[in-house]
Amino acid sequence: MSVTSVEKDVDNLTLTLLADFDAPPARVWQLWADPRQLERWWGPPTHPATVEQHDLTPDGKVTYYMTGPEGEKYHGWWQVNAVNPPSSLEFNDGFADQNGTPIDDMPNSTVQMQLTEHKGGTQMNLRSTFATREQMEKLVSMNMVEGLQEAVGQMDALLAD
Amino acid sequence: MVVDELTDEAVDNLFHALADATRRDILRRSVQGEPSVSQLAGAYPMSFAAVQKHVAVLERAGLISKKRRGREQLVRTDRQAVHRAQQALDRLEAAWRGRVDRMSDLLTQVPDPREDKPTKGQDR
């Protein structure tokens, strides 16, 4: 079972997603609360995450980095706003520099996550909101640059064969 | 990728613009801030005119635009705001769909890894 509904609100820069899991809320909560489990799903397969600090308490911090195919590291952080095991979690998610220090003018989003019992399993309600339109636009431009760069890199590789 | 919305000529311009390491670096800096052309010129071991040429190539490809502030020319990435919002949310959706899939897989693969720990005193 997985994603059952997705809503995208362009005006409020918000993504709302519902997902169903075949496990009780306490078990799904572990995917967030156990750093070793978190790092197995947070990053995409090409950029696996390594969680360094993991403190899911109010004002607590989670720090992590994702490692790309070339060994490049992208550091990120969560700042926990509210936590209520095993049913809800709210945090800000942002980028950090190589030392793990948050970069203020880099895109930052708020994630609100709720777990409820649903049909013998768990429904996860996830809302992610970009902090500002400006930051969101920066993220898109960056992705665009990375995407095109990747394409150019692949072309280079083809030409070199 | 946004390439499919463009004409052949625009795609040529785009790839030409991105096929150069200096221009990719200029683009990256323009995404992260609004550097002036003279600031950019200071960042590379080449003449002001050479940097200006690189900026012009990026501008022709529609990747950046120039804005005048006083005596300075600022370089910034320029695309339509609503389109960007849609794109950002599409990417976010793709990222979360991937995450949810991996979460589901984990739940089936490992019923509860905590039970595997010897400290729990279980015979395994």
Residues B26 and B72 in one domain: yes
What's residue B66's pLDDT?
87
For residue B117, tell me if it sits in a domain: no
Residues 99-128 (A) with a CB less than 8 A from some CB of B: 105, 109, 124, 126, 128
- The residue ranges of chain B whose pLDDT is under 50 are 1-6, 113, 116-124
Residues B58 and B12 in one domain: yes
What's residue B124's pLDDT?
39
What's residue B10's pLDDT?
65
Of A87, A86, A90, the closest CA to residue A62 belongs to A90
**B23 to chain A nearest CA, in Å?**
11
What's residue A58's pLDDT?
95
Residues B90 and B68 in one domain: no
Q: Write down the domain spans for chain A.
A: 3-132
- Name chain A contacts of B92, Cβ cutoff 8 Å: 15, 109, 128
What's residue A68's pLDDT?
85
Report, at the CATH architecture level, how domain A3-132 is classified: 2-Layer Sandwich (3.30)
- Which residue in A has a C-alpha nearest to residue B110's C-alpha? A37
Answer yes or no: are the C-beta atoms of A25 and A86 closer than 8 Å: yes
CA atoms of A46 and A67, how far apart (whole Å): 8
What's residue B64's pLDDT?
83
What's residue B18's pLDDT?
78
Residues B95 and B63 in one domain: no
For residue B24, tell me if it sits in a domain: yes
Answer yes or no: are the C-beta atoms of B75 and B64 closer than 8 Å: yes
This prediction's pTM: 0.62
Domain carrying residue B70: 3-77
For residue B42, tell me if it sits in a domain: yes
Tally of domains within chain B: 2
Q: What ipTM goes with this model? A: 0.80
What's residue B1's pLDDT?
25
User: From the list B28, B82, B89, which residue is nearest A15 (CB)?
Assistant: B89
What's residue B2's pLDDT?
31
Answer yes or no: are the C-beta atoms of B32 and B40 closer than 8 Å: no
Residues 84-113 (B) with a CB less than 8 A from some CB of A: 84-93, 95-108, 110-113
Residues B105 and B62 in one domain: no
What's residue A161's pLDDT?
46
- The residue ranges of chain A whose pLDDT is under 50 are 155, 161
Residues B46 and B106 in one domain: no
